[in-house]
C-alpha cells in the first residue's frame, strides 16, 4: 500500500510541475521594423513635420548633442545638404539612442514620399541622398455613375487624381454637368508605387471611355511626333477630343438655368430673355475662360455684377457674370482653362453662380447647342500608326470593362 501511495504522490508532483512549466507565458517577440535602410527597433524613433520657424539648426539644438555639436554638424553637411530645402510641412524622423540620454544618432529629412536625405552622426558625420524604388502597375476599372465622378471612381478603388485627369482630357467633348446616374465608364491607367507598397498616385492614362448621350466617347493618348513627349487625346477614329472651346467655365457645378427667350427672372420678378447658362457653385470657385483670347471688358454693372468678357477671334466671344472677384484686366491675353475670376453673387443674383454667355458673329447664342470647331486633327500619315496602337488598347479595355460591369450588375 505504501509503495502505491508513494508512486501516486510522485506522479502528482511531476504532473503539477509539468503544468506550471506549461503555464509560463512565452515572451512576446517584437516584430522587426525596417525603414530608410535602418532597423528602427534599435532606436528611439521620433516622427515630426517641419513647422514655422524650424531650421535644421534649431532641430539639432533641441537634441542632446551638447553646445558645439549642432554647429559642427551644420558646417560639415552644408555643402552636401542644402539647408534651405527644409520646408514647412515636410516630414523628418529622428533616430535616437534607446538609453536615458536619447542622443540623436540619425536625422532623416523626407523631400517627398520617394526621396529623402540621411544625416548620420554616429561615427563621422555623413550625408546621403536616397531614393526609394518606384514600380508601375497597369489597372483597368469600370463602373456606372452613382453620385459624382469622384465618388464613382473612388468606389472602384481609384484616387482623386484620376478624376482630375479625366475631366481635363474630356473637358472639350463631355459636359460633366450632364452626365447621368447609370452612365458607364471604363479606364485603363498606370499607378506608381513606392517600395512596391505605397500608392503614389496615377502616372498615366492608357485608354478610357464614357457613355455620353447614348454614345461611347473613347480617349487614347498619342504623340503625332514619335520623338516628342507631347501627347494629345483622340477617339477611336483618330478625331481630336480637344476643341476650340471648353464645354463649361467650371470644373464641377450644377446648371440651374438654361439659355431661354422667355424666363421668369428670380430677382426682377418679370418674364424676360435669359441669354446665358447659369452654373451654380460655391462662392470662390475658380471660373475658367473656355478658350484663348483677349479680355475685352472687365468691370461692374448693376445687373451683371463683376464680369469679364473675352474676345476669342473674329467670330466668337464669351462673357462671365456675377463674379465675387475679377482676376484679369482689360487687354490681357488669357489662355484656355486660365482662371479669370471667382464665383460670386454680385449684381442681380439670388445666389452664387456664374452666368456664361456666348456670342457668335456678334449675336448671343446658346453655347450648349453649338457645334464648336475642333483643334488640330490627326495627320493622315500618322493615322495607321495610331489605329494600330489604339486597337489593342480598346479591345482590352472593352473586354475588361464588360466583365466588370457584368459582375457589378449581378
Mean per-residue pLDDT for 147-164? 86
pLDDT at 164: 87
Alpha-carbon span 149 to 181, nearest angstrom:
10
Alpha-carbon span 94 to 110, nearest angstrom:
11
Alpha-carbon span 70 to 76, nearest angstrom:
10
Using the structure block, give the residue that is written with the C-alpha cell 548620420: 120
Question: What DSSP string describes 358-396?
Answer: EEETTEEE-GGG--PPB-SPPPHHHHHHHHHHHHHHHHH
Number of H helices, E strands in the chain: 6, 24
> Is 15 a residue whose pLDDT tops 70?
no
Of 25-29, 34-38, 237-241, 341-345, the least confident: 25-29
Global pTM? 0.62
Nearest residue to 188 (alpha-carbon basis) of 347, 408, 399, 1: 399
> Is 16 a residue whose pLDDT tops 70?
no
pLDDT band for 271, please (50, 70, 90 cuts): very low
Beta bridge partners of 355: 278, 321
pLDDT band for 197, please (50, 70, 90 cuts): confident
H-run or E-run covering 7: helix 2-23
pLDDT band for 13, please (50, 70, 90 cuts): low
> Is 54 a residue whose pLDDT tops 50?
yes
Alpha-carbon span 139 to 222, nearest angstrom:
19
> What average pLDDT does the structure give for the chain?
85
Mean per-residue pLDDT for 257-278? 62
pLDDT at 264: 47
pLDDT at 199: 86
pLDDT band for 5, please (50, 70, 90 cuts): low
Mean per-residue pLDDT for 289-300? 92
Question: What DSSP string describes 234-290?
Answer: E-TTS-BS-BSS-S-SSSS-EEEE--EEEEE-TTT-SEEEE-SEEEE--TT-EEE-S
Question: What DSSP string describes 89-105?
Answer: T-EEEEEE-SSTT--EE
Of 19-28, 205-214, 225-234, the least confident: 19-28
Mean per-residue pLDDT for 215-222? 93
Mean per-residue pLDDT for 76-82? 88
Residue 182 is classified by DSSP as T
> Is 265 a residue whose pLDDT tops 80?
no
Which residues fall within 8 angstroms of residue 213, CB to CB, at 6 or more apart? Answer: 178
Q: Is 407 helix (H, G, I), strand (E, B) or coil?
A: helix
Of 208-217, 230-239, 301-310, 374-383, the least confident: 374-383
pLDDT at 198: 85
Alpha-carbon span 299 to 326, nearest angstrom:
8
Amino acid at each position: 500500500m505504501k509503495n502505491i501511495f508513494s508512486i501516486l504522490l510522485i506522479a502528482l508532483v511531476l504532473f503539477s510541475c509539468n503544468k506550471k512549466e506549461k503555464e509560463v507565458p512565452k515572451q512576446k517577440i517584437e516584430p522587426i521594423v525596417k525603414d530608410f535602410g535602418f532597423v528602427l527597433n534599435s532606436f528611439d524613433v521620433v516622427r515630426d513635420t517641419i513647422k514655422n520657424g524650424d531650421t535644421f539648426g534649431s532641430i539639432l539644438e533641441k537634441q542632446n548633442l551638447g553646445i558645439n555639436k549642432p554647429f559642427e554638424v551644420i558646417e560639415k553637411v552644408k555643402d552636401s545638404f542644402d539647408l534651405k530645402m527644409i520646408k514647412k510641412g515636410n516630414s523628418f524622423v529622428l533616430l535616437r539612442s534607446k538609453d536615458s540620454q536619447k542622443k540623436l544618432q540619425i536625422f532623416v529629412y523626407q523631400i517627398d514620399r520617394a526621396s529623402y536625405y540621411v544625416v548620420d552622426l554616429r561615427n563621422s558625420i555623413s550625408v546621403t541622398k536616397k531614393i526609394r524604388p518606384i514600380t508601375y502597375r497597369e489597372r483597368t476599372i469600370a463602373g456606372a455613375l452613382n453620385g459624382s465622378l469622384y465618388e464613382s471612381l473612388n468606389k472602384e478603388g481609384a484616387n482623386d487624381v484620376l478624376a482630375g485627369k479625366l475631366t481635363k482630357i474630356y473637358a472639350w467633348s463631355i459636359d460633366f454637368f450632364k452626365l447621368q446616374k447609370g452612365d458607364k465608364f471604363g479606364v485603363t491607367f498606370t499607378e506608381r508605387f513606392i517600395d512596391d507598397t505605397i500608392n503614389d498616385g496615377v502616372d498615366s492614362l492608357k485608354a478610357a471611355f464614357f457613355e455620353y448621350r447614348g454614345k461611347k466617347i473613347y480617349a487614347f493618348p498619342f504623340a503625332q511626333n514619335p520623338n516628342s513627349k507631347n501627347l494629345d487625346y483622340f477617339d477611336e477614329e483618330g478625331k481630336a477630343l480637344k476643341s476650340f472651346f471648353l464645354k463649361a467655365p467650371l470644373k464641377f457645378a450644377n446648371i440651374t438655368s438654361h439659355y431661354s427667350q422667355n424666363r421668369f427672372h428670380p430677382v426682377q420678378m418679370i418674364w424676360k430673355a435669359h441669354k446665358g447658362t447659369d452654373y451654380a457653385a460655391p462662392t470662390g470657385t475658380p471660373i475658367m475662360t473656355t478658350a484663348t483670347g483677349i479680355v475685352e471688358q472687365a468691370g461692374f454693372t448693376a445687373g451683371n455684377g463683376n464680369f469679364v468678357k473675352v474676345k476669342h477671334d473674329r467670330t466668337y466671344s464669351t462673357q462671365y457674370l456675377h463674379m465675387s472677384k475679377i482676376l484679369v484686366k482689360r487687354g490681357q491675353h488669357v489662355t484656355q482653362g486660365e482662371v479669370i475670376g471667382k464665383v460670386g453673387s454680385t449684381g442681380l443674383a439670388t445666389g452664387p453662380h456664374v452666368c456664361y454667355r456666348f456670342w457668335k458673329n456678334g449675336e448671343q447664342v446658346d453655347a450648349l447647342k453649338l457645334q464648336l470647331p475642333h483643334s488640330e486633327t490627326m495627320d493622315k500619315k500618322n493615322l495607321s500608326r495610331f489605329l494600330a496602337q489604339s486597337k489593342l488598347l480598346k479591345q482590352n479595355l472593352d473586354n475588361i470593362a464588360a466583365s466588370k460591369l457584368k459582375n457589378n450588375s449581378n
